[in-house]
Amino acid sequence: MFWKHWSSETHGVALAVVAAFGFSFKAIFVKLAYAVPQAVPVDPVTLLSLRMLFALPFFLAIGLHASRAAPPLPRRDWLQLSVLGLLGYYGASILDFIGLGYISAGLERLILFTYPTLTVMIGVLFMGKTLQRREIGALLLSYAGIGLVFFHDLEFSGETATVLVGSAFIFASSLSYALYLAGSGPMIQRLGSARFTALAMLVSTLATELHFLATQPLSTLRQPLPIYAYGVAMALLSTVLPVFLQSAAIRRIGAARSVMIGTLGPMLTIAFAWWLLDEPLSLSQMVGAALVLAGVWLISRH
């Protein structure tokens, strides 16, 4: 196998690129699932429930393996883990799935990529960190790019209220994920990335299924075969694999370089949305995406 001769750094870059592909397809799978013809389209809670159920066996197995020789968690760690799991994989996901019912996959991915700048702002506002000039520049670049694509979607859809509502849900999703990132560092140091990620996903899965049981009848789990196929694809290709590939990449090349490579995600989503969903592709979208990526690159340099 040719990759056996790669250096650790080359392995890390390859893993980060494959992870970016996996994450970029999530919005495509969601939009394809919403478009499956049936009397009552699948709702966001049911679709997220299927995604988490299909991913559950993998995270359960990984969590058990990673915890086998580790000491039990104290109550305080379980509390922190529960809060972070609710923010990062339950709250962010449900808000994202709802928002995708209103706006394009390309705009969704760009708004989600505000999480690096939001993470920095959380550090400034609540953790005593200072805002440097390059971080101010990153904020300006990112939000200028989102503004361009936002107005493109307004012009294309002709429904201002719909785009505003969808964008608000996606921005809330990005904020939820940024809060998760800002608070997860110390726990990852203590538990290790595999154990932390698996346990956080188990918390998220439990919250998702409780949400489903509280709001939907069990009969809504009966869906056409294409919905199950998209749920499995999301669980494996856009959840389990990229989460652990990203962790492995961070271990080899560091978080900053992994985030920089992850900026491929918005560009890939816009391209796949144009190819698979017939979403329009315009110059303003490309310029907006480039500005967002420049902002993420600037904030991730160090």
pLDDT over 80 at 117, yes or no: no
pLDDT at site 300: 59
CA distance 226 to 219: 17
The pLDDT of residue 48 is above 90: yes
pLDDT in tens, 237-292: 998 898 878 777 777 776 656 766 776 777 777 778 788 878 777 787 788 778 87
Residue 244: its pLDDT value, please? 78
What's the rounded mean pLDDT across residues 56-66?
90
Please report which confidence band the pLDDT of residue 73 belongs to, taking 50, 70 and 90 as the band edges. confident
Instruction: From residue 86, give the alpha-carbon distance in Å to each of 42, 73, 186, 199, 271.
Output: 23, 18, 17, 11, 31
Q: How many domains does the chain have?
A: 1
Q: For 222-238, what is each residue's pLDDT tens digit?
A: 999 999 999 999 999 99
Mean pLDDT of the chain: 83
Q: Domain range spanning residue 74?
A: 2-300
**Sign of the torsion formed by the C-alpha atoms of 68, 70, 74 and 77:** negative
